[in-house]
Amino acid sequence: MEVKSYIPIDLEDCLGELGNENYWLFAGGTDLMIRKRQWHGASRKFVRPVMFINDLKELNGIESDDDYIYIKACNSLAEVYENDEAPEILKKAIVSMANPEIRNMATIGGNVANAAKVGDTLPVLFLLDARVELRSKNEKRIRKISDFIKGKYQTDLRKGELLYQIIIPKKEYDINMFYKVGSRQGDTLSKLSVSCTMNIENNFVNDFRVAFGAINNKSIRDRYIEEKLINKSVSEAEGLIYTVLNGYQDLLYGDNDKRSTKRYREETAIKILHKFLKEALNEK
């Protein structure tokens, strides 16, 4: 059976049609083409109709104002990487992903909407306090990314809705790190990743953020633990390193799976954060 395809001419056409059937949205296709591997020749495995959104003008391009950067869902990872205003830490995550050809096709919206446990932009977007704008024919909603992502392959996307753009508050992060543990260049799905930023001014920590990816089903970010270091002097913060590490230890629920073991993930994640904290606090 060949599946129905819909190629909308613009966003209005797309949203108008989206509510009519249970469409599978198709952006860059780098997740879908693998999940539907049997696509060779025929398209039997695609049981739901498909709507192609990758080339919609309204879903491409990156804009900004004084406070935010707005990344439309169908920008490829390469396009986000090349944008001057995209946050440094997001770029670090992007170059760690896949290979140049895949980064040319894979969209940032697909990485978010797919909500894979190993999705590498997710922890960074959690760290950056990103929001997502969702659009349907008659409605526009904005949700925090941490509310939008509900778990492994689970989001708050409703029927008839698509991810329109990702909205990131503009902010300078003096020290930023994205550290990913994978196995092979070119196909590096995360075993785990640690994203950290810190701002220190006049010997006081005025911002500190951490997000862990690919350990729990959903990226981990905890403002309560971060605040233990905020507004502390560098030497006070140094004395609190173990309090922070213990706090995160309790939040990690890694699994054993084909990429790694629970113990390896948890221990490695905490070691990476420890190293970051020692270096960040000693540097100043």
Partner 1 sequence: MQIEIKFNLNGEDVSIMTDPVRRLLDVLREDFKLTGVKEGCSEGECGACVVFVNDILVNSCMVPMANVINKKVMSIEGFKQTKEFEVIEKGFLEAGAVQCGFCTPGMIMATENLLRNISNPSVEEIKEGLSGNICRCTGYQTIIEAVQLTVKDGGELWKSNLTSL
Exposed / middle / buried, residue 116 (Cβ in 10 Å: 0-12, 13-18, 19+): middle
As a whole number of angstroms, the distance between CA 81 and CA 95 comes to 8
Residue with CB nearest ligand FAD?
110
Residues that bind ligand FAD (rule: CB under 6 A) add up to a total of 32
Nearer to ligand FAD, 31 or 79 (CB): 31
Q: How many CA atoms, within 13 angstroms, populate the side-chain half-sphere of residue 14?
A: 25
Binding test (CB under 6 A) with ligand FAD, winner from 3, 32, 240, 251:
32
Binding test (CB under 6 A) with ligand FAD, winner from 18, 28, 136, 226:
28
Q: How many CB atoms lie within 10 A of CB 155?
A: 20
Q: Is 102 in the site for ligand FAD (CB under 6 A)?
A: yes
As a whole number of angstroms, the distance between CA 129 and CA 123 comes to 10
Write down the least CB distance from residue 182 to ligand FAD, Å: 7
x/- contact string, 166-205, with ligand FAD (CB under 6 A)? ---------------------xxx----------------
As a whole number of angstroms, the distance between CA 148 and CA 157 comes to 7
Backbone torsions φ then ψ of 113, nearest 5 degrees: -65, -30
Binding test (CB under 6 A) with ligand FAD, winner from 71, 89, 98, 167:
98
Judge contact between 146 and 126, C-beta under 8 A.
yes
Binding test (CB under 6 A) with ligand FAD, winner from 14, 15, 18, 27:
27
Closest alpha carbon to 145 in 125, 170, 162: 125
Using CB distances below 5 to 8 A depending on partner kind, what does residue 107 bind out of ligand FAD, partner 1, none?
A: ligand FAD
The footprint of ligand FAD (CB under 6 A) covers: 24-32, 34, 53, 73, 97-98, 102, 105-107, 109-111, 113-114, 118-120, 157, 162-163, 187-189
